[in-house]
Amino acid sequence: MLRAMAALPMIGRMAYSPLRVAIVPVTPLQQNATLIWCTETMRGAFTDPGADLDRLRAAAEQHGVTVEKILITHGHLDHCGQAGILAREYGVPIEGPHEADRFWISRLDDDGPRFGIRGEVFEPDRWLVDGDTVRVGNLTFDVYHCPGHTPGHVVFHHPESKLAIVGDVLFQGSIGRTDFPLGNHQDLIDAITTKLWPLGDDTAFIPGHGPMSNFAHERRSNPFVSDSALAGQTAGGGAATP
Ligand SMILES: [Zn+2]
Ligand SMILES: [Zn+2]
């Protein structure tokens, strides 16, 4: 377990930033739960701790991080099925997602057995809206509401590190599915082009599944949202990624 985690790269450009990240893929869907922390305080947060809590606790212990909160991008089982359990264990609050995902969170108990993951309904301590900020140690992340994959999906961005945690909005070479209840393909495209792209081409991102990438790479080559694909309006239909 720890070997797999240690093999994941730290982000080179963060050498001079107090932000550190460790990605821990969880659930059979290999969802990128991420431990983010501030080296000035060694206080941190888990984003999307969907399951495999023993591995997540081990990551915090290995890096000497005091977990002070849990951040959630959206209400899907693989992202937050066990967030409530972890929050209770650590005695920390849950911030996010946007309240429009309340219906997803309310069905976590029922969705769990269908995917072989134990899910538990929880009530976030703080729902987030576009323009909010969340604090982790001495770090401040900006919150962007990016609906489309789910109506209440949010993205966390740390401007100083040029790093975004985007959940299932955008992947390397793909975008989130929009065939779920209240999914909306155009909303997702709009969120990517009007909220993510303005953060800058040199912005690296941790997606909900799969490898990291950056916006420049996706604007060049992503078949759904590259500049050329959108200019031709050829994008359409759902992506194949969870
Ligand atoms: Zn999702
Ligand atoms: Zn996902």
Q: How much of the chain is helix, strand and coil, in % rounded to 5? A: 30, 25, 40
Cα 111 to averaged position of ligand 1 atoms, centre (Å)? 13
Listed in sequence order, the residues at least 6 apart from 111 whose beta carbon sits closer than 8 Å to its beta carbon are 77, 81, 119
Distance 107 CA to ligand 2 centre (A): 16
For the question of whether the overall pTM of this predicted structure is more than 0.95, the answer is no
Please state, in angstroms and rounded to a whole number, the distance separating the CA atoms of residues 107 and 102.
9
Give the ligand with the smallest distance to the CA of 171.
2
State residue 113's pLDDT score: 85
- Read off the tokens for 192: 């990517």
User: Mean pLDDT throughout 35-48?
Assistant: 98
Answer whether 49's CB lies under 8 Å from 86's CB.
Answer: yes
Residue-level pLDDT at 12: 46
- What is the rounded CA–CA span in Å between residue 142 and residue 179? 28
Q: 60 CB contacts (<8 Å, ≥6 apart)?
A: 35, 44, 46, 66, 67
Candidates 32, 36, 177, 151; CA nearest to 99 is 151
pLDDT tens digit sequence for 7-34? 334 444 445 689 999 999 999 999 999 9
Q: How far is the CA of 41 from the centre of ligand 2 (A)?
A: 30
Q: Which residues surround ligand 1, an ion (CB under 5 A)?
A: 76, 168
Cβ–Cβ under 8 Å, residues 75 and 101? yes
Q: What is the pLDDT of residues 85-109, one digit of tens each?
A: 999 999 999 999 999 999 999 999 9
Q: Which residues surround ligand 2, an ion (CB under 5 A)?
A: 78, 168, 208, 242
Strands 94-95 and 66-71: parallel
Instruction: Give residue 40 CA to ligand 2 midpoint distance, Å.
Output: 31
**Tokens (6 digits) for 72:** 């959630």
Q: For strand 163-167 and strand 204-207, is the pairing parallel, antiparallel, or unpaired?
A: parallel
Question: Where residue 114 falls among pLDDT bands split at 50, 70, 90?
Answer: confident
Dump pLDDT digits (tens) for 122-157.
999 999 999 999 999 999 999 999 999 999 999 999
Confidence of residue 47 (pLDDT cuts 50, 70, 90): very high
CA of 15 to the centre of ligand 1 (A): 31
Q: What is the CATH number of domain 2-231?
A: 3.60.15.10
Instruction: Say whether 227 sits in a helix, a strand or coil.
Output: helix
Give every CB contact of residue 206 below 8 A, 6+ residues apart in sequence: 21, 23, 32, 34, 163, 164, 165, 166, 212
Q: Apex CA 63: angle with CA 79 and CA 81, to 5°? A: 15
Per residue in 148-204, pLDDT tens? 999 999 999 999 999 999 999 999 999 999 999 999 999 999 999 999 999 999 999
